[in-house]
Amino acid sequence: MFRHNAGSKVGKGTYWNFSTGERIDISSEGVLPGDAGTTYFKLPASGIVALGPILGLLYAAFLPFIGIAMLLKLIIQKIASAVMAPAQKSASFGWRPSESYLAGKKKGAKKDEGGDSPGNNKG
pLDDT 10s digits, 45-75: 788 888 889 989 999 999 999 999 999 999 9
pLDDT of residue 115: 54
With a cut of 80, say whether residue 78 has pLDDT above it: yes
Reduce the DSSP state of residue 41 to 3 states and report it.
Answer: strand
Confidence category of residue 21, pLDDT binned at 50, 70, 90: confident
Range 13-33 average pLDDT: 87
Paired residues of 119 in beta bridges: none
Assess contact for 29 and 12: CB atoms under 8 A. yes
22 and 16 Cβ atoms separated by less than 8 Å: yes
pLDDT of residue 1 exceeding 60, the answer is no
